[in-house]
Chain A
Amino acid sequence: MIKRKRITFQRHRETILGYLFIAPVCLGLIIFILGPIIASLFLSFFEWDLFTPPHWVGFKNYVKIIFQDKLFWQSLKVTSFYVGGLVPLQMMIAFLLALFLNVKIKGLSFFRTTFYMPVIVPVFASAIIWLWILNPEFGLANALITKIGLPKLMWLESPRQVIPSLILMSLWRVGQPMIIFLAGLQGVPTQLYEVAEIDGATARSKFFNITVPLMTPLILFNGILGVIWSFQIFTTVYLITDGGPANASLTYILYTYRHAFEWLHIGYASALGWILFLIILGITVLIFKYFGRRVYYLERI
């Protein structure tokens, strides 16, 4: 009887201490993330310009967005184009690079560092450099392609070329998914390859029957993260193209930002934010449903 009491008391204290330790993080999460999220859901049913009190409009913001706002659809189109172009390309290139960097060649760490370095360059600095490189009149890119006889491109200044240019600029930072793939490749047990070789497997079948299946969890991971992250592209566009030319690079979050902070439509912007949430959620669910079953987890084999 007495023993049980003592243990309970200690347990009790440890529980309290445990909660105290995680309290700062939880409080931070609630105050700075959960709170604003709920507030913005609430605000999306109001019209608010920050200075006058908010007034209730019900679903009017949502209706306006979906049925009357051409720029909403434009920004959705622009962003989807960007995501659809970037994510598959980024994953393929990252995967290929990871394969190359998994081979023991001389100067391996030099190559790995070099490919990862663009990831740590601050966005603003690289934005300015890219602006220069892609300048149609004075830039390096056009200088190079005209030298080999190709016609001059307008890059960031053509409505048709601006998104591909932005994709190119994002691909420069492919080191990030590459590192994750690299880590995954190194986690593939070498015994599997050895056994396969003994059975007479070619390099090609080793790749398609061992490497790729075992990498599928990471491919799914990078894919989903890539979609979620790239749907929210903002900083580069805000700094470089400001949505132009002619709204051809008006990404969804840039459009939301403008409504909130430049045009004082806080309620409208909140509604835009929640619609984006639903869209990304929907896409993620679809990806899980379609690709989820084709993913092999090593432990389950």
Chain B
Amino acid sequence: MRKKVINRWITMLCIISVFLCWVGGVSWGQKVELVYSYWGSTVEKEAVETMINEFNRLQPNIKAKGLHIPQNYAMKLQTMIAAGNAPDVMKMMQNSFRDWADRNAYLELNPFLDEDPDVSLETWARVKVENYTVDGKFYGVSGCLEPLLIFYRQDLFDEAGVSYPPAEEPWTWDEFLSAAKKLTKEEGGQITQFGVETANRWLINASYILANGGRLFNESVTESLLAEPEAIEALQKLVDLELKYRVDPQSRFLQLIGAGSLEALGTGRVAMLMEGHWVLGDLAKMEFPLDIGVIPKMKDFTYLDVSSTTVISKDTKHPKEAWELFKHANIAASGIVPLCKYGIWVPSVKNLLFTPEGRQLWLTEGMHPPHFVEAVLATVLHATRTPATLTAGMEEIIGKVLTPTFDKIWLGEISVEKGMEEAALMINEILAR
């Protein structure tokens, strides 16, 4: 009998204490709670946590929490949104940005910008702001830019007696091709060294379509212009690197895990690697004389910046506080400088990138190669607004149409003209929805 009574009391105590904890959590928390969701490696996680801790210190009434989602980011975010649990501030990928923008998932930030003396549209690089503005509505930026660059091995260039890729005035395509040819070595029927590796198909193909005077869509974004001669010419030049001149190895999958092309440069199997800036961190760790040059031009010198953005969720319960967090995440040196030092980010904040004092904060000997600053500045100033945020359905356009079509073209199974014609038709179908 006594045992039973004691048991009952203990049970009651447990239930009451759980209830108290719940009540306490709810009523004692006078602070506004915010959630910041992001993806990335452990290095990026560290930087974000530092930034968030600094933010919490500077804003005693706000308690921000970082939500690190390293895998299946879109899927997890969608689940949270469907459950009405969207994070307040979230990182967002470029290719799905417009899908969600068109479905009113984001808070429009112009009112905040107008009122806030600390930031304006001039705070960040022009292309970054352009990329994420829809019909005049500014939805977000992030602290980084990712220029498309040529990473090369000085030793292999010296060996072949070829002058280094320029760091400011780009090569013409022919100059680039002839350098790549001189850097391609064949031994016993096998190519032991390739001149260049261009693995990142979406980034490179889309950039060069733009660089050749072509466009992905027409003005009103109702039709695809991929079957136009400028686009076809640009792609043909790129395909020829692999199929006609054999100066570029045929390996589509290296880019999926991002590792193989880096090792190829690291082991001297290729002399040049055309890729987004983010691979610098890993390349700098390898032991070879690395330097950076600008990509060659076609009709123009330009590239498309694929770096992501941060947005504020439309359903946030604390828009003013979310704005503070958004602002801090995108201008605070504490969140940006470490990632630049690790060779993962190029800052998009103008006074960190375009002023010598700003650059001093993050340029690191041993990480940033000799011609880094010239090449990056020259490239960034020539960026074109990305077509990926001009329309919804971009994930489908890239995943369902462009990637398989590029695959077929690069395998030599279909000509560029035919491929682009088919692709344009399929894209028009998607755009019509």
Contact = CB atoms under 8 A, between A and B. Distances in A.
Interface of A: 49-52, 71, 127-128, 131-132, 135-138, 146, 154, 156-159, 239-247, 258, 260-264
A240 B404 CA distance: 15
Nearest to A156: B253
B269 A137 contact: yes
Interface stretch (B74-82, B144-152, B346-354): B74-82
A51 B253 CA distance: 33
B90 to A, nearest CB: 14
Mostly helix, strand, loop or mixed at chain B's interface?
helix
Given A157-B253, A245-B407, A50 B81 contact: yes
B105 interface: yes
Contact of B396 (A127, A135, A244, A263): A263
Contacts of B72: 261
B428 interface: no
Interface stretch (B110-118, B254-262, B372-380): B254-262
Interface residues of B, number: 41
A284 B28 CA distance: 57
Nearest to B82: A50
Contacts, number: 99
B100 interface: yes
Interface stretch (B49-57, B244-252, B284-292, B327-335): B244-252
Given A261-B75, A261-B78, A131 B257 contact: yes
A76 to B, nearest CB: 16
Interface of B: 72, 74-75, 78, 81-82, 96, 99-100, 103-105, 190-191, 194, 249-254, 256-257, 259-260, 263-264, 269, 393, 395-396, 399-400, 403-405, 407-408, 410-411, 413
A138 B75 CA distance: 34
B103 A244 contact: no
18 contacts: A128-B257, A131-B257, A135-B251, A136-B251, A137-B191, A138-B263, A154-B250, A157-B250, A157-B411, A245-B410, A246-B408, A246-B411, A246-B413, A247-B407, A258-B399, A261-B74, A262-B74, A263-B400
B99 to A, nearest CB: 6
B407 A246 contact: yes
B253 A131 contact: yes
A297 B289 CA distance: 69
A154 B413 CA distance: 14
Contacts of B105: 51
Nearest to B189: A146
A132 B103 CA distance: 41
